[in-house]
Copies of this chain bind each other. A is one copy, B any other.
Amino acid sequence: MLIRIADFLGRDFLGLVLVLCVLIVFFGLSSDYFFTALTFATMANQLPALLVVAVGMTFVLIIAGIDLSVGSVMALSGALLGFVLVELQWSIPYAIIACLSLGLLCGFGNGFVVARWGIPSFIVTLGMLEIARGGAYLVTGSQTLFIGSKVQWISAPLPLLSVSSGFVAAMIVVILGQIMLSRTVFGRHMIAVGSNDEAVRLSGISVRSIRVKVFCLAGFLAGVGGLFQVGYLQSADPNAGVGLELSAIAAVVIGGTSLAGGRGSVINTLLGVLIIAVLQTGLAQIGASEPSKRVITGVVIIAAVIVDVLRHRSGGIARYFKAFRRTP
């Protein structure tokens, strides 16, 4: 049973759990209030947007692509949601459909250009980053649109649980994502495209359509992120999600997904997101100064990946230290 679980989770993730525990213990000792239900509940409710975007990013990295546009696309779809709710007075379901469809459309745009002309996704999504951001300014008239309680249910704590429906939805996305990745044919196809796209092509399977689908998925999930973000802030901010792509990629890579494609796990992405969230919350709780926040974040990002790499490379850190002593 345990083996089956480990198998389901994709790969060994003890290195990450270790890093996470170290962080939690450290902040727990540094702050009297870190170990409170409130801290964890607020963290849980701030996660959803980054989490779903990071899940989409995981898939994109697995097919050896990259998506820099997620932050802007999130802002754009959130902006549209605000616009149709406030200016056009649409009802919530239609507004949500519009928001998610726009995310999907942006993702499709990325995927189409990448697959059709074989342009590196880095540059295509960098272009989309600018375009979608411009779009978000256009839609909102460069203003924060206030929506109010109409969208509050997304981030309001659920009865009985102290977490929001957004959080629950994001966890469902994680679980479905992991199942898709490790248990469906499409998941295998994604891994294969990231690992050797030429071999996939020679198997008579359309690499292009897989690529397009994955970028669509990432765009769609960015749209979902926009929905969560708007629900949380009750307003649509065209400047939302600036730099989100880098946080998302950091979370995914900390989770051990390879930037070279072919290898990754959604559950580990969740751990990566948790590491980043705990770090941010903890640093804010102990009231660290801005420069030290930056430096510590940078060091933790690198250290987390080093710990993970070492755990996988040669069967444990102990062995590594031996090797380290040997090599000057």
Q: Which residues of A contact B (CB under 8 A)?
A: 68, 113, 117-120, 122-124, 126-135, 137-138, 142, 246, 249-250, 253-254, 258-260, 290-299, 301-302, 305-306, 309-310
A126 to B299, CA, bound (A): 10
- Residue of B68, B127, B291 near A299 (CB, 8 A) is B127
Q: What is the chain B residue whose CB lies nearest that of A109?
A: B302
- Residue of B123, B131, B134, B305 near A253 (CB, 8 A) is B123
Q: Name, among A117, A130, A306, the residue most crowded by chain B CB atoms within 10 Å (CB to CB).
A: A130
- What is the minimal beta-carbon distance from A300 to any residue of chain B, in angstroms? 8
- Residue of B68, B113, B291 near A134 (CB, 8 A) is B291
Contact yes or no, A301 B130, CB < 8 A:
yes
Q: What is the chain B residue whose CB lies nearest that of A303?
A: B127
A133 to B243, CA, bound (A): 14
Contact yes or no, A292 B134, CB < 8 A:
yes
- What is the minimal beta-carbon distance from A238 to any residue of chain B, in angstroms? 9
A68 to B246, CA, bound (A): 10
Contact yes or no, B122 A290, CB < 8 A:
no
Residues of chain B within 8 A of A142, CB atoms compared:
290-291
Given contacts A246-B126, A291-B138, contact A131 B299 (CB under 8 A): yes
Contact yes or no, B310 A134, CB < 8 A:
no
A132 to B294, CA, bound (A): 8
Residues of chain B within 8 A of A119, CB atoms compared:
302, 305-306, 309
Contact yes or no, A124 B302, CB < 8 A:
yes
Contact yes or no, A295 B130, CB < 8 A:
yes
- Residue of B123, B135, B305 near A305 (CB, 8 A) is B123
Residues of chain B within 8 A of A295, CB atoms compared:
130-131, 134-135, 138
Q: What is the chain B residue whose CB lies nearest that of A122?
A: B259
Contact yes or no, A291 B130, CB < 8 A:
no
A133 to B135, CA, bound (A): 29
Contact yes or no, A298 B123, CB < 8 A:
no
- What is the minimal beta-carbon distance from A255 to any residue of chain B, in angstroms? 11
Closest 6 CB pairs of A and B: A134-B294, A130-B298, A131-B298, A134-B295, A127-B302, A137-B291
Residues of chain B within 8 A of A117, CB atoms compared:
306, 309-310
Given contacts A123-B250, A250-B123, A291-B142, contact A134 B298 (CB under 8 A): yes
Q: What is the chain B residue whose CB lies nearest that of A300?
A: B127
A260 to B137, CA, bound (A): 33
27 CB contacts below 8 A, A to B, read A68-B246, A113-B302, A118-B309, A119-B302, A119-B306, A119-B309, A120-B260, A122-B253, A122-B259, A123-B250, A123-B301, A126-B250, A126-B301, A127-B297, A127-B302, A128-B302, A130-B295, A130-B297, A131-B294, A131-B298, A131-B299, A133-B294, A134-B290, A134-B293, A135-B291, A137-B290, A142-B291
- What is the minimal beta-carbon distance from A274 to any residue of chain B, in angstroms? 17
